[in-house]
Amino acid sequence: MKFDLMLGDAPWSSTASLAKGLEEVGFSGVVFTETSHAPWMSLAAAAMTTQRLELATGIAVAFARSPMVTAVSAWELADNSRGRFRLGLGSQVRAHIERRYGMPFDPPGPRLADYVRAVKACFRAFAEREPLNYQGTFYSLTLLPKQWKPSNHAYGDIKIDVAAVNPWMCRMAASVADGIHVHPLHSSVYLKKRLLPEVEKATRETGRNPKEVELTVPVFVVPGDTPEERAPMLAKARGQIAFYGSTRNYSFQFDDLGFEGTSALLNDRLKAGDIAGMADVINDEILSHFAVVGRWDEIADALRARYEGIASRLVIYLAEESIASDAKAMGKWGEIARAVTAG
C-alpha cells in the first residue's frame, strides 16, 4: 500500500515546504481536495519541491468546470511533475453544483460517467492518438485546433479516480475509471460487504480484472502514546465522523454495524445546533469501526491489518496541522509511512 497525506488550503510556500518534508520522511504522496480553493496551484507548488512524491486531487469537483478545462489542467500537471499526477473526480451535491457553481447536476451518476469519458477523450486527443470527437449524452467536444492543443508529452497515461459511495456509483466507477476514491466514512464491513462486491460485479460485466480498480482510501488515524496526546485528534475524528454521519444517505454505514438510528440522531442534533452533542454520539465502539486509534508503534500494524489487500493507497485525514507544526510528529508519521509502504 501507498501512504498519502490529505492537505487543505495553505499558502503555496507552506505547501511546497511541507511536501518536501513529507517526501523526505517517506510519504508516498499528497492529496488535495476542493473546498474553499481549487487544488491545481497547490499541486503545482508541491510538485516544484519534490521529485518522487505523487500528487492527486481527492477530489476535484467535476461539474464545476468543463471536461476540457479539467483535462488541460491535469495534462499540464502530469507533464510538469513528470508523470506523478493522478486525477480524482467527484460529483459533489446538488446544492453546491446548482447554487454555488451555477452548473447542471442531474442526473449525477450518468453525468459523471460521461464526464470521465470526455476527459479521457481529451487525453487521447492531446496525445495525438485520435482526433477529438467526443459526443456523449451530456458533453460534446469536437473542436481542437492545433494552436489550442496542449503539447504531447510522455506522461499521458493519467489515471482517473471517481468518488463513489452507493452501489450504482461504485459500479460506474469500476467500469469507466481507473480507481475509486472511497469516502472517509467507511468501515471494513462496508468495504468488504458493499463496495468490493460492486467492483467485482462491474468488472465481470466489462471484462476487467477487479485488481485493476485501485482503491484510494482516506482514513481517520489517531496516534498517541497517552490519552492526553490522542485527545485533540480524537475530538476532531469524532466531530468529522459525526458530521458525515448526519447525512441520511450514509445511515446504512451505521445500520450495517448494528447502530441503527445513529444517523437520524446525528441529524436531529445538527438541526438543533448541538455540535458537541453530535460528537458525543460517536462513542468508542462506533469510533473503532471508522477510525484507527492506538499508540504510535501500533498504528502501522493496525492499518495493514484493516486495509492490506483492499486499499491501493491510504490517505491520512486530519493530520496536516500536527505534521506541519511539529517536526517530531512528522518523524513519527514518517516511521508509520515507511512501515506501511514496506508491507
Is the pLDDT reported for residue 95 higher than 90? Answer: yes
User: Is 0.85 topped by the overall pTM?
Assistant: yes
Is the pLDDT reported for residue 138 higher than 90? Answer: yes
What does the DSSP 8-state code read for residue 218?
E
pLDDT category at 175 given cuts 50, 70, 90 is very high
Domains of the chain, by residue range, sit at: 2-226+290-342, 227-289
Is the pLDDT reported for residue 192 higher than 90? Answer: yes
Residue-level pLDDT at 343: 75
For residue range 101-119, list pLDDT tens digits in order: 999 999 999 999 999 999 9
For residue range 253-298, list pLDDT tens digits in order: 999 999 999 999 999 999 999 999 999 999 999 999 999 999 999 9
- Looking at CATH, the fold of the domain delimited by 2-226+290-342 is given as TIM Barrel (3.20.20)
For residue range 36-85, list pLDDT tens digits in order: 999 999 999 999 999 999 999 999 999 999 999 999 999 999 999 999 99
pLDDT category at 241 given cuts 50, 70, 90 is very high
**Residue 84 near residue 57, CB atoms below 8 Å:** no
Query: Angle at which helices 296-307 and 327-342 pack, to 10 degrees?
Result: 40
Share of the chain above pLDDT 90, in %: 99
Residue-level pLDDT at 193: 98
Q: What is the C-alpha to C-alpha distance for residues 181 and 248, in angstroms, rounded to an integer?
A: 20
* Mean pLDDT for the chain overall: 97
Q: SS3 for 123? A: helix
